[in-house]
Structure 1
Amino acid sequence: MRNLKHYTAALMGLWLMGLTAMARADLPDFTGLVEAASPAVVNISTRQKIPEGRGAGAMTMPDLEGLPPGIREFFERSIPQMPRSPRGKQEQAQSLGSGFIISADGYILTNNHVVADADEILVRLSDRSDHTAKLIGADPRTDVALLKIDAKDLPTLKLGSSDQLKVGEWVLAIGSPFGFDHSVTAGIVSAKGRSLPNESYVPFIQTDVAINPGNSGGPLFNLKGEVVGINSQIFTRSGGFMGLSFAIPIDVAMNVANQLKTEGKVSRGWLGVVIQEVDKDLAESFGLDRPAGALVAQILDDGPAAKSGIKVGDVILSVNGQKIEESADLPHLIGNLKPGAKADMEVIREGKRQNLSVTVGDMPKDDQATSGGERGSDRASNRLGIAVANLTAEQKKTMDIQSGVVINKLSGDGPAAAIGLRPGDVITHLNNQPIESATAFEKITSALPAGRSISMRVVREGRASFITFKLPGK
């Protein structure tokens, strides 16, 4: 019996060792990748002149304020002090980031925010040599910058395809978090095509790779050692890594870099519309079987959309055969088109599918702002609980609206108040019908169906959006 126990224990041990070996065999070995790629990853520092009194007299790292006190004090002690300038002169601030070499003659990719407003850009190579870099160009909308140093026969990185990247795939980052050069971190692709607030033109790669201040501008690799992205942003409540990192797809970055190199600027397609997401209720109100597409909430005057027949209330379902699952897909697709190119679109209009051909315009340098008749009843007694009035000629001109009605009063317990409407809001469409007058509004309101989603287009402070609501039975 004793021998049998020993035999069983030995078999169990061998089995566990086998499982451990199998688990280790399934994990990637990054050593070869790191050895081959590290020489082409660079540290970037910048100097910017700032008025006397605004600087702290010392170099500071980004986001140290968000770190725990003990860690913050460690880094502050580690940062060399800079001498204060004589009174009346200027001090210099320094920031740190990362980048990588894409050509042997010295072209380097990094983030725009790493080098923005810099008076001097310094690049430190893996051999510890320092070079002053020239800014070839930068594109704030994609947060991409192209630098050039005077050097030859430099090591370069292989560029991959971010389109072929798959969710769940292993990825690796090399950079200089908090100035620690050539730090390596790894993880997986968490998602693709992420849209972040105020970042309409980049379908970000989301990863769980540990990224911290100083990693910005560094490369994101796949297991083949190919660059698939530029590490750009993190989501954090502490100032440090929390498991959500975002990288610019290399396909997007190289499109920008090539334009900066050849043209000195970036041109991208533009429609001149304000769009919003189609949720379940909006999908029902517009006759869609599921939420999808980009809902046109507003059209800018004299823009490509206005000239091509796109209308407010259209739901754009595809562009040149590429489906739009979320509204954020539309800016990516249009932005990748050259100004003057044709965009064939499938849209839902008044419950019916239509095909439109739109000539894409050139994105303005600065995003454009979306930016006497019968009177309505003064009683908030209709089914929505609001009183409306026709727009005056002056209001139409000021708001750049052709038709609609303005809310004068709301019933405190009415449906309109419940969905957040307020006096001064302008209603231009109700139940997929344009509102031409207060009389038309009352007529449409009286015929609204009960128990299903109803859409309403509202303009507030120059910004248009669709909302949905349901009315109880009559």
Structure 2
Amino acid sequence: MTNFRKLTAVALASALLGGTSYATYEHFGKPDTISTWVSNATPFIKARLDGAASAKADAPAAGAPAAMIPADFSFASKKATAAVVHIKSTLKPERTVSQMQIPDEFRDLFGGRNPFGQQAPEGKMEKPQATGSGVIINPDGYIVTNNHVIQGAETLEVTLADKHTYKAKVIGSDPNTDIALIKIEAKNLPALSFGNSENVEVGQWVLAVGNPYNLTSTVTAGIVSAKGRSINILGENAKAPIESFIQTDAAVNPGNSGGALVDLNGNLIGINTAIASQTGSFAGYSFAVPSSIAHKVVEDISKYGSVQRGYLGVGISEVDAAKVKSFDLKVDRGVRVENFADQSAAKEAGIKIGDVITKIDNHDIAGVPQLQEAVAQHKPSDKVNVTVNRDGVEKVLSVTLKGISEPSVADRSSSAVMEQLGVELKDLTNQQKKEYGIGSGAQVTAINAGKIRQGTDMEEGFVITKIDKTPVANAREAVKMLQGKKGGVMIEGLYPGNDEVQYFAIGL
């Protein structure tokens, strides 16, 4: 279950411990640790145990010896560990095509025989498991975690800090930010409040709390190393990935995914998501989704069932020295508008190609991640003030954000059966039909909580060519066909690059 992705010379590993993989423990010499001592010659932040406030130490008089005072993390640790949970995901069995059995009600669709050529072995197949972390954000049992912690899960088991265990259900998830919301049936739970990640400063002390390698309630300390990091880890599973990570040097390892990043007052400022490593273990860099993004996602999911995200509708690139010289730009920070999407909100508001966006609602925009983070906090129809530099002249334009317009994608919210199945579909392009060697079909672009995830091992990218032996013309036709189905349904199709026909049986 642990995924690895390249970040220049190192691999990015989603901090999720696979149930079929086991941590290897080795004996090391005493490692270099983050010092818990700071000199009062430099102002520092110390969390009081009563949590009432933070204090700064006064600098000593010139020439006086510098006293060493410990930075106390105990208040934030106690507060955070009480609200951080352990999540165990039981995944669908790892089945090969030859192992899959066809239910009796579908056998006559294939002439009474197993279409895969072999009889599946007797006995119960072992189900792999994976573990991660989560954060209680509401006393009534709402928990925020990473999408990759719960993705593909058949069942979820949550263990609290007090060792009580509950079954959890998925309320919703957002692959674009790798954030998910789950719920357990419990009351009066300890919960963390969302802090304001926009006020977090580079160099500030933070704590990472989670369950690395199944070591529950583990706290590590570090500082914020950078903000607004884009590490290109979400692109494979997301249509419009939003990456503006908080980078820290707090130790985070497999199993920490979905855990809390808190400030010294115990406020939730991020959800730990990934590490940069050559080995899959911590090597000095960890990344968290900022609370400004996570809070918006879970709030939308709880209110609307899905994320309501507004878009400017622009293609952009980072301003650098080469662009300043090439386009004779008058500013050296921001993002340059390169093109527009269809029905672009930015274009309708008067923004032009070549404009450099420098601020959103008076917040400075240094690069693409900052722009994504600023806009991601808004929903369609929200108005934002966009400051652009156009040939050295600064202009402030009011933009009414729009949602993504995808007329070729079947809208699952408009179809009860698509909600039940938990899938999203889109039409195939002519080029795709030619590449796949088929005349028609509908491609699965997302698999959410629903019967497809629970009862099959279908993966995103699968192309549906037939439903109960009837050819599928496009996404809209597939939805229409499924809407009228009752009982057993056989879905037939293939994966791009593989000519072998695959079959998935579901019940409606």
Q: TM tier, shorter chain?
A: 0.5 to 0.7
Q: Residue 50 of structure 1 corresponds to which residue in structure 2?
A: 93
| Distance change in 2, residues 1:325/1:139 (3 Å) | same
The match for 2:364 among 323, 326, 331 is 323
Q: For the structure 1 residues 25 and 363, does the alpha-carbon distance in structure 2 shift closer, same or farther, using more than 3 Å as the test? A: farther
* 1:379-430: CA deviation from partner (whole Å, max 9, x where unpaired): xxxxxxxxxxxxxxxxxxx9xxxxxxxxxxxxxxxxxxxxxxxxxxxxxxxx
Tell me: CA distance 1:91–1:107, structure 2 relative to 1, closer, same or farther (3 Å): same
What is the Cα-based RMSD across aligned positions, in Å? 3.0
Q: Could you tell me which residue of structure 1 aligns to residue 267 of structure 2?
A: 226
Shift of residue 350 of structure 1? 4.9
SS of the equivalent of 2:373 reads: helix
Alignment match, 1:170: 205
Query: Quick check: 1:108 aligned with 2:149?
Result: no
Separation of aligned partners in 1, 2:354 and 2:330: 17
Q: Per the alignment, do residues 127 and 265 of structure 1 end up closer, same or farther by CA in structure 2, a change over 3 Å counting? A: same
User: Whose RCO is larger (CA < 8 A, sep 6+)?
Assistant: 2
Aligned match for 2:216, one of 158, 181, 197: 181
Aligned pair partner of 2:306 in 265, 283, 286: 265
Match of 1:374 in 2: none
Verify the 8 A CA contact 1:176 1:183 in the aligned structure 2: yes
SS of 2:295's equivalent? helix
Task: Identify the match of residue 338 of structure 1 among 375, 379, 395.
Answer: 379
Q: Distance in 2 between matches of 1:119 and 1:109?
A: 18
From the superposition, tell whether residues 241 and 23 of structure 1 become closer, same or farther in structure 2 (CA, over 3 Å). farther
1:197: which partner in 2?
Answer: 232
Distance 2:373 2:162 in 1: 39
**Does 2:70 correspond to 1:27?**
yes
Secondary structure of the residue that 1:285 maps to in structure 2? helix
1:142 to 177, 181, 191: 177
AA of the residue aligned to 1:121: L
The equivalent of 2:131 in structure 1 is 96
Equivalences for 1:217-256 in 2 at 5 Å?
217-256=258-297
Instruction: Say whether 1:154 aligns with 2:189.
Output: yes
1:143-198 deviations in whole A, cap 9, x for unaligned? 11111101122222243222222211111112111111112211111112222226
Rg larger for: 1
Corresponding residue of 1:288: 329
| 8 Å Cα contact 1:160-1:227 kept in structure 2 | yes
Amino acid at match of 1:97: G
- The CA deviation at 1:122 is 0.7
C-alpha separation between the residues in 1 aligned to 2:172 and 2:247? 26
CA gap of 1:331–1:40, structure 2 versus 1, over 3 A, is closer
Q: Is the 8 A contact 1:52 1:88 kept in 2?
A: no
Q: Percent identity?
A: 43
Residue ranges of structure 2 left out of the alignment (5+ in a row): 1-38, 41-64, 98-119, 235-240, 410-430, 432-508
| Structure 2 contact 270–291 (Cα < 8 Å) conserved | yes
Amino acid at match of 1:223: L
TM-score, structure 2 length as denominator? 0.58
| 3-state secondary structure, aligned to 2:348 | helix
Higher relative helix content: 1
Please report how far the alpha carbon of residue 366 of structure 1 lies from its aligned counterpart in structure 2 after TM superposition. 11
Note closer, same or farther for the CA distance 1:242–1:51 as it changes in structure 2 (3 Å cut): closer
**Structure 1 length normalisation: TM-score?**
0.62
